[in-house]
Amino acid sequence: MTNYETYESPFCTRYASEEMQFTFSAQKKFSTFRRLWVALARAEMKLGLEQVTQEKVDELEAHIDDIDFAYAAEEEKKLRHDVMAHVHTYGKCCPKAEGIIHLGATSCYVGDNTDVIVMRDAMKIVHRKLVNVLSNFASFADKYKDMPCLAYTHLQPAQLTTVGKRATLWMNELLMDLEDLEYQMGNLKLLGQKGTTGTQASFMELFHGDEEKIEKLEQMIAEEMGFKQCVPVSGQTYSRKVDSRIVNVLGGIAQSCSKFSNDLRILANFKEIEEPFEKNQIGSSAMPYKRNPMRAERITSLSRYVMIDTLNPAFTAGTQWFERTLDDSANKRIAVAEAFLATDAILNIMLNITNGLVVYPKVIRARVMKELPFMATENIMMDAVMKGGNRQELHEKIRQHSIAAGKVIKEEGGENDLVDRIAADPDFMTTKEEIEAKLIPENYTGRSASQVSAFLDRCIKPVLEKNKDVLGEKAELSV
């Protein structure tokens, strides 16, 4: 429920999905605490700790989700310790098991392991949405792989490409991000139960120095929580470089999406390609005719936030002292959560835009034809050389003719008369009709179409096939 008298994060009220918001919610966090406590107790029981019985484990398991947050808040106010407040809250509804909750563990057993689990689950959401964005782009690239359009260097018309080929440039960067994301997901490890300074000293006491049981205990916890293994060594916490590496991946996604959104904003200005525009959408309060690229602008804006946010976990990782300090806590609970919430919001908009991009073929063609004479000059020059002309002399003449034609366009507002100028120059040994016969845009796009097909077949289709069970996702934007 919206509270109009206190600050509320726009990530919750405007941008991030309910699914991602739940992933970073108190319910998710503290129920995961309880799942970890159950996993610890179950493993301790199986490894022979007599005070941990099946009855106590069953009682703990029966009360994983019924959290009395009001009681926990009162306990935290009294104890000034969030983990112990929830130990007491859990014990209140599990009186038989109260004495074995958190047995041998330190706060980071639940705090850090929960953070890892939450990031894993959040990465799964990001992964699913990123795959669907690539799927949308793949359909778009394939559909427009043959459509010539202007390509730019320095934001100046350079040669021709195709609409589909340009889309593969956006896709290729997102594919790099997907590979980085999958690497982090595949290599993510649980902290396990390392104790106060990472030495597992408390468990040495619990298990009377039986190191084999301690290692087995950790492996059992990892498997119950869905991980292959725990980190091999740590201080009290898992290395904060883990947060930095993961948020860097989110920053990479933001970079790629920002590149696309900025390109789309320019294309909208050219009136070549636009984001979806709803029937009743208002572009401007003062100018009714406007179709502002508000979705792409929002991607640019949120991406800037995520890219800058990557510095937070980087500085946190770089300023941890010895086995741990607590200057990480306040920062990481904001920085990591908001990096995921913002990335989720970005991908929601990406899904929305890429599912409904509007292309204007006639405008694209008209702009191509206006610039094509300049781009055909190399072919015209080579034809003249084949007829006996001097390449260097012809190059200089074309340069002069191009400058003159550009002057007509820029200074006089006239049409491109480069073809007329070349046809009138006897050194080129050609006619206007012969030149115009060569001005077919499709002849100047190089291998664009085949590059699109090869990229989709070799790089994208295997990804989509591997993830076919999650395809078809769409996103509705709240604002």
Question: Which residues have a catalytic role annotated?
Answer: 154, 284
β-sheet bridge partners, residue 190: 230
Cβ atoms < 10 Å from Cβ of 35:
20
CA 339 distance to own-chain centroid: 10
CA atoms of 37 and 67, how far apart (whole Å): 14
Nearest C-alpha neighbor of 90 from the set 33, 147, 141: 33
Written as one letter, the residue type at 122 is: A
**Main-chain phi, psi angles of 233, to 5 degrees:** -140, 155
CA 159 distance to own-chain centroid: 31
In which region does residue 428 sit, left (phi positive, over 0), alpha (psi from -120 to 50) or beta (all else)? alpha
CA atoms of 126 and 124, how far apart (whole Å): 5
- Tokens standing for 301? 């804006």
Cβ atoms < 10 Å from Cβ of 96:
13
Q: Which long-range contacts (CB under 8 A, 24 or more apart) does 213-218 make?
A: 213/47, 213/48, 216/43, 216/47, 217/40, 217/43, 217/44, 217/47, 217/193, 218/192, 218/193
